Each structure stands twice: as C-alpha cells, then as structure tokens.
Amino acid sequence: MKNEALLLGLDLGISTVKAALFTLEGRMVGLASHEYLIIPEGDKVEVDPENYWRPVAQSIRRLLGNWRGNPEHIAAVSVSSHTETVIPLTGDGKPVRPALVWMDNRSQCEAEELSREFGHQRILEISGQQDITPLWPVTKLRWLSKNEPDTTRRTAKFLLPEDYLLYRLSGRFAAEPSMWSSSLVLDITRRRWSGELLAFGGIRAEQLPDLFSSGAPIGRVSSACAAQTGLSTKTAVVTGGLDHACAAVAAGNIEPGVVSVSTGSVLALLTTICEPIFDRTVPVPCHIHVVPERYCLLPWSQTGGLAFKWFKDRFVDSVPLTTEREATSIYDVLAAEAATVPPGSGGIVMLPHLDGALFPEFNPNARGVFFGFSLTHTRAHFVRALLEAVAFMIRRDLEGLNRLGIVARELRVLGGGAKSLIGSQIKADTCGLPVVVPAQQEAAVLGAAILAAVGAGLYADIRSAVQAMASEGSEIKPNPANRDAYDRAYNLYVSLYESVKHLYPESVGISRMSTSLAH
C-alpha cells in the first residue's frame, strides 16, 4: 500500500485556494483551485470563516472528481496557509462573530498601547517581530477585549486560518508554531505562549489551540468533512505550516545559505537560520520554521502577486484568451504584453504598496503609486512597471539581508510569479542573481504534502522527504545588458518612496472621509 499512497496538500492563500495530490516521489497527480477576494471597507475587514472553508471543500471535491481514484489511497492531508486573521469560535466550532481579517486596521490604538507598555525591543525578543502594527493578532485580540468583551468571554478558541482548516478537517483544535510566530502571543525562543502578551490581549491560554510541531498527526478526517469533501475517514490529518515556510521546504530551503522568493498574493523572501536573529538595526522579521530546530528570516510585503490580480480584476475587462497556438490565461496575455516593453517600463515606476508596507518601510499608511506615465504609455507599460516593482521589492529585501551577513547565491522563485518567464527574467536582471525555478511550481501545496508524508510516517523526517519529493528545474541567468536600466529604475523607486511617504497619512485620511461620506 505504501507504493500506492498519495498525499493531499492544501494551500489557503490570500486570494486563491489550492488542493493538490502528490505521489511519494513528488509527482503531482491532480490540482484544483478556486479564486476569492476579500476587499477592505476602510479599516474594517471582516469575513465569515465559511468563506475560507467553502472554497477548500469545493476544491477538494473537484480534485477528487477529476482524479477518480480511491480516496482511501490518500494517506494524509496537511495545510499551508496565510496567517494573522483571527477567527473566534465556540466550543462546538461555530463562529462567535465574523473573523477579523489580517488587513483589518481598527486596532491601531491597541498597537500603540502595546508599543508604549512593552517597547519594541521586548516585543522583538518574545515574538521576533520588528514592528508593532494592527496586522498582528495580539492587537486584534485586545481590540476585541476592549470593544466586544462579550465576544471574548463567549469564545472558546481563537484560531488562525491554518488552525481553522485543521479543525474543519479533523474536528480537533490544533496549531503549530510557524503559523503563530507573527501573532505576538508566542514566545518563539521558548516555543510556548507568552503569559504577559496573552494578558495584554485579554485572553487566557486555554482559549488557544493545543500546540504541535509541524508535520505532526492530530487525528483523521472527520465524518462531517468526509461528507462535504469526499475524503476518506482513514486519511490522517497532519499539522502544516505558514505558507512561505511550506513553499521553502518544497524549494529545498531547509538549511542556511538558500533564499527562496514567493511571489504569490504577497511577496516574501525566506532564508533558513539555526538560531533566531533579533537585530533592531536591520528590522527583518524572524519566524519559527516548519523544519525542526530551525528558524527563518522572512522579509515580506502585503502585495506581491495580489497587485497583479488587482490590476487584472479592476482594469482588464477583456483580452483575447487564445494565442495562435494554444489557449492561455489572462495573466499570460498580460505578461506577453509586458515582454514587448523594454526594461525600465518607458520611465514608469510603481510603488506596489496597495495596503501598507512592511519590511523595510514598516508603514501601514503606504499606498500604491504609478509615477512617470504620459500619453505615450500603454497598458503593457503599466503591467511591466508592476512586474518590475515586485523585483525592486526583492532587491531591497536582499540588501537588508546582506547587512545581516546573509548573502544570496541564487534566488529560488515560488508561487504564481514563478510561472512567468518574463517575471523571473526581470527578477534575475534587477537583482543580478541567477533565478532557479523548481520543477514543481505549486510549491506551497507540495510543501504541505511533504509535511503530510512525514506525519503519516511515510518518511522518517522532513529532510528525507524533501530529498525524495522536491527537485530543481530551470535556471534563468541575469542579462548584464539590462543592469544599468534596472539600477536607474531601482534608485528612482527608492527615491520615489522617500519623496511621498510624508503624504500618505493625508491620503489615508481623505480615503476614510470618502468612505464615511459614501455610507
């Protein structure tokens, strides 16, 4: 039966859900996905947790329907997920209120309280997080305890997105450290809940799920889940991890010296380290890795591929969906248009901070900017400027890692952006580094499947599972002829942010006024 065993990897992205089946050799047997979009309404961003589970269940059922195999051959399932969304549930798993989505910014005052009471250095030493913003769950928990005390009293468990999917899969409340590393209630050095930060949030440790290591079995698929998805109740449910850490595992990024770049909805770089690094001079977030006894530095930004999706959804009404030779997607058509524009996008530079900026700006008020366009520019110029903006964010992150003595030899690109040849070439040219595209581009779901294989006992540990299931693919080398153009455009990108950052608070103020007038 081991030779017939398959692993199910799930990935709950910020805008897309994916479900994929893999063999023990890492070959993908099938993939199903479902796009969704949560749009902020000013500072308030809430969602029914069912909006996360429904596309997951639909994707699993569609995957199994297309595969037509025996679900009992699926040995285990695990989850890769985004984090920071707070989901309050009753003891029987019913939502106490809508989830507070990671983009919800109503806890700004609570973030300022946290900064005053603890100080940045103390928060860094506990959580590994360099700045204090409304993004972090502890500020949302305090906001709830102050503004909705009845919600806090009625909540049996506060979950993050991975925890919620594990509950819907197995009926058990379970969590793992990589997901909670940015919650600010987990002490990442001791790997246990921080009593002082729980007290600040106004909750008790009993209101959080039990902590397990990544890749740990927690039970089997529940009968309720089996009825909704078509999975077998014989399938083991295994803890997964933070999406970027899962993707890094699929790229072989499990030891120091490798930098992986995920260009999914958000942009994230990840480098593996042996001990946590708490350095206020270079404010790079530090997380617990899904790999045992490892940590990772994780500079990231809220909008990476999400900016591309936003542009597509808002400004592309229709494009031809076929080329002369084969059917293609809207994203492929837009990328092909961008490839017709020379490096530098004809002078257009974009700041892609559509919902604030993290490393290295740490500015929740930052917003997007297109600069330098004229009557001569076309949609292709704007798309190319967007792709170049993502590469500029990567280059700036690498410069921060360099100041900590971490030097990238190559970039291993993951996520939806890894499918774009022009996007990978722009990254290589901008950063002056070879870009390696793994053979399996669906990295987050493969990483989850690798953890599932370990949890099912099919491999002894993550390292042996990675060796068997992950493999490298193509390599794209930088084109030296484009370096000068990208150096100039990158310098303009940095200067542009410095020139407009003082204007962002007024822009946000006007946005809030407009929202209130609209209602």
For residue range 467-487, list pLDDT tens digits in order: 999 987 889 999 999 999 999
pLDDT for residue 126: 96
Residues 6+ apart with CB under 8 A from 314: none
Percent of the chain past pLDDT 90, that is, above it, reads 79
Q: Is the pLDDT of residue 351 over 60?
A: yes
Is residue 137 assigned to a domain? Answer: no
The domain of 358 spans 274-441+475-518
Let me know if residue 283 belongs to a domain. Answer: yes
Rounded to an integer, the average pLDDT of 5-20 is 95
Continuous H helices in 148-209: 149-154, 161-170, 177-180, 195-201
Q: What is the pTM of this model?
A: 0.84
Max mean pLDDT among 14-18, 435-439, 459-463 falls in 459-463
Long-range contacts at 191-196 (CB < 8 A, ≥ 24 apart)? 191/288, 194/126, 194/127, 196/118, 196/126
- Tokens matching residue 109: 């005052």
Question: What's residue 198's pLDDT?
Answer: 98
Per the domain annotation, does 77 fall within a domain?
no
Q: Look at residue 383 in the predicted model and tell me its pLDDT.
A: 97
pLDDT digits (tens, 9 = 90+) for 41-62: 789 999 999 999 999 999 999 9
Number of domains in the chain: 1
Structure tokens at 364: 């929740």
**pLDDT tens, 256-302?**
888 999 887 788 899 999 999 999 888 899 999 999 999 999 998 88
CATH code of the domain covering residue 510: 3.30.420.40
The reply to whether 134 falls in a domain is no
Asked whether the predicted pLDDT for residue 305 surpasses 90, the reply is no
Neighbours of 41 (CB within 10 A): 11
Q: Examine residue 266 and state whether it is found in any structural domain, yes or no.
A: no
Residue 491 lies in a domain: yes
Residue 323 has a pLDDT of 44
- Residue 446 pLDDT exceeds 50: yes
Per-residue pLDDT tens over the stretch 118-159: 999 999 999 999 889 999 999 999 999 999 999 999 999 999
The DSSP-derived string for 455-467 is HTTSSSSHHHHHH
pLDDT grade for 327, boundaries at 50, 70 and 90? very low
Give the mean pLDDT of the chain.
93
Band of pLDDT at residue 326, cut at 50, 70 and 90 = very low
Position 262 in a domain = no
pLDDT-derived band at 324, boundaries 50, 70, 90 = very low
Residue 302 lies in a domain: yes
What DSSP element (H or E) covers 421? helix 421-431
pLDDT band of 325, cuts 50, 70, 90: very low
Pairing of strands 259-263, 411-414: parallel
